[in-house]
A and B are shown apart, each in its own frame.
Chain A
Amino acid sequence: MHVLAISGSLRRDSNNTRLLRALREEAPEGVEVTIWDGLKQLPHYDADDDGVPGPPAVDAFRRLVRDADAVVFATPEYNSSIPGALKNALDWGSRPLATNAFRNKPVAVIASSAGAFGAVWAAAELRKVLGAMGARVAGVELAVGHAGERFDADGRLADDDVRQGLRDALESLIAETTPNLQAA
């Protein structure tokens, strides 16, 4: 099973990207997690540019999503919602709407923030957007608050509860994906 992992933060020392690295460490045998680093390369969504072929970075992103068995997101919260860069990627990914790469794709959302609430509102927004796009949104609700305190000096996750939360999130996503693999 191949899981594509997308961080909503571009920051080099992003806690959300670090969470995805920890999630990759917790992946069970047979589950390969690839962290996508192409978010910054996507142009702003413009329907005039959305042809065949589209912008190379967009076509590459859509191919990655299509080829993945599942997608996991880690998002921060900007102004009570998801970052513009992440929404922009989803806007590209959602076209054409009826046949987009995310349709029926099992997805899971985790979130973290420096504050106490762990980007819980951004996570809800992201689940809403993914559902509207036709994705199969797994029942994962992992919101990591005070994220800056959860990592050691090397940026590695040093919180066993959060590690367990990541394992549980992956388990839910794998369970959501398994019927698709069996049908294939």
Chain B
Amino acid sequence: MSIAAETAAVPTGTWQADTVHSSVAFEVPYAVATFGGSVTDFDATLADGRLTGVARIASIAVKDENLEAHLLSPEFFDAERHPEVRFTTDTIRRNGDDVEVDGQITIKGITQPATLRGTIVGPSVDHFGKNRVGLSLETTVDRTAFDINWNMPLPNGDPALANEVTLKADLTLVGQGS
């Protein structure tokens, strides 16, 4: 097998997110700019070419506790009834450093297909001798497809909050047993 073919393959085996060096975040146009936040409590695993992830929505972090409470409320994620956001893989494709993951994303108990696109780095050995893979992925979802419908009209009649939300995951995955 050539070196080029090896680097173009999706890594086999099991890789677990090093969550200290990983992040899961969202961005959404709000009024005149882009508003963003993150979810700090999550897990992600790449096992036999399938990426799975789960984020505990109670750990949503924005810069205001009242806004966090609003995001957890039934008007947004309804974290009491739907505590987790999940992703499962159907197929994953690697072309050099580019990667696409077709899968299913579940938010507020509703599952919709989604394609995550981004880049993949590695596997490569880190300074502690561990094998690591970097995955940087994002997708855009229509939040109303997940029953997240809150909005407020601006004075000009436009909605304050866009429906299209960008979800981002920057993952450092560590080879298990490596």
Contacts and interface: CB of A to CB of B under 8 A. Distances in A.
B74 A104 contact: yes
Contacts, number: 31
A142 to B, nearest CB: 20
A132 B150 CA distance: 10
Contacts of A97: 66, 69
Contacts of B73: 103-104, 131, 134
B69 A98 contact: yes
A107 B80 CA distance: 15
Given A104-B80, A179-B81, A137 B65 contact: no
Interface string B62-80: 0001101110111100101
Nearest to A176: B74
Contact of A134 (B65, B74, B81): B74
A99 B69 contact: yes
For the side of the interface on B, what is the size category? Answer: 10 to 19
A134 B70 CA distance: 6
A151 to B, nearest CB: 34
Contact of B68 (A98, A104, A137): A98
Interface in A128-184: 131-132, 134-137, 179-180
A98 B65 CA distance: 7
A131 B75 contact: yes
Interface string A87-122: 000000000011100011000000000000000000
Contacts of A179: 81
B74 A131 contact: yes
Contacts of B78: 136
Contacts of A134: 69-70, 72-75
A98 to B, nearest CB: 4
A137 B69 contact: no
Contacts of B72: 134
B67 to A, nearest CB: 9
A179 B109 CA distance: 14
B41 to A, nearest CB: 18
Nearest to A96: B66
A103 B75 contact: no
Nearest to A136: B74
Nearest to B150: A131
B71 to A, nearest CB: 10
Nearest to A98: B69
B66 A132 contact: no
B1 to A, nearest CB: 53
A155 to B, nearest CB: 35
B81 A98 contact: no
Nearest to B66: A97
A103 B81 contact: no
Contacts of A136: 74, 78, 80
12 contacts: A97-B69, A98-B68, A99-B69, A104-B73, A104-B80, A131-B75, A131-B150, A132-B70, A134-B74, A135-B74, A136-B78, A180-B80
Given A98-B69, A99-B69, A104-B80, 4 more contacts: A97-B66, A135-B74, A136-B78, A179-B81
